[in-house]
Amino acid sequence: KRKWGKPLFIYHNDPTPARWTQIVPEYFLDLLVGKSVSVLVTVSYHTQGVLKQRPGLRNASKRKVIYNGIEVPSQKKERTKSIYEELGISHERRIVLMLSTYEERKGHEFLFQALQKVIIQCPEVLLIAAGFSYPHERKRVEYLVTKYLLSDHVCLLGFRNDVPNLLRQADLLVVPSQSFESFGLTSVEAIARKVPVVVTQVGGIIEVVKDGFGGFTAPLDPDLFADRMIQLLSDNQLWKSI
């Protein structure tokens, strides 16, 4: 502090209430944080609003919202490594991409429920879900694929370092999160590469995606989420305009 001045504190997630056994010490710790920083930055107005769950951080004069940024995609034509060849699938398949961890709150089961309706209208759809998972999380999602009879329409991958490559080949990105989404960075990455998105109306996501501008939002209803997916997958003119 003496050398550089008060630091910035940048908070990327949704704050949660302190456990009842920790309310007092965490309150004083939050007060110390609030006094020690020049500004408390959150990545969405949603997250800033949820700070009320931390009474020690209610100093409005030190609060600021700065949205997450990404690198602007290169305008040069980048070499694409075919996901169709990697997975051994037909180029006729329509790729729906989900990029997230396999945590339950990310909404895999919600998406599978929606997908059951989507494949009736768009049987060529293939959902590719990619992201980090713990073994028990992966097993739960694998079980759900079997439960909803979606083995021919879902491919589960692990963590990928080639997200831009996947996005270049996707027809649609979906973000079916059910809770605790402070921003939704993958939506911005997709929109920057002209890939439409369908997202749930959760947390800060609705500050990133507006209906008709880059994609669509939907409430936490798998039928309505499916309808938005079907709209974009079955109407090529709408897909292009979005």
**Band of the pLDDT at 73, cuts 50, 70, 90?**
confident
Q: Cβ distance 9 to 166 under 8 Å?
A: no
The mean pLDDT value for 192-204 works out to: 95
pLDDT of residue 33: 87
User: Who has greater pLDDT, 198 or 3?
Assistant: 198
pLDDT of residue 57: 84
> What's the whole-number average pLDDT of the chain?
92
H or E element at residue 50: helix 45-50
How far is 238 from 212, CA to CA, in rounded Å? 9
The mean pLDDT value for 123-146 works out to: 97
The mean pLDDT value for 126-146 works out to: 97
Q: Cβ distance 201 to 217 under 8 Å?
A: yes
Determine if residue 47 is left, alpha or beta; phi over 0 gives left, psi from -120 to 50 gives alpha, anything else beta. Answer: alpha
The mean pLDDT value for 10-37 works out to: 88
pLDDT of residue 180: 87
pLDDT of residue 1: 67
pLDDT of residue 60: 64
Whether residue 16 is predicted with pLDDT greater than 90 in this model: the reply is no
- Kindly state the tokens that stand for 141: 């999602």
pLDDT of residue 176: 97
pLDDT of residue 140: 97
Backbone φ, ψ for residue 227 (5° rounding): -60, -40
Whether residue 17 is predicted with pLDDT greater than 90 in this model: the reply is no
- What 3 state SS string does 163-230 have? HHHHHHHCCEEEECCCCCCCCCHHHHHHHHCCCCEEEECCCCHHHHCEECEEEEEECCCHHHHHHHHH
What pLDDT, in 10s, does the model give residues 157-192? 999 999 999 999 999 999 999 998 999 899 999 999
What pLDDT, in 10s, does the model give residues 217-236? 999 999 999 999 999 999 99
pLDDT of residue 68: 92
pLDDT of residue 84: 94
pLDDT of residue 148: 97
Backbone φ, ψ for residue 99 (5° rounding): -115, 105
Rg (CA), the chain: 20
Backbone φ, ψ for residue 112 (5° rounding): -65, -35
How far is 131 from 98, CA to CA, in rounded Å? 8
The mean pLDDT value for 48-69 works out to: 85
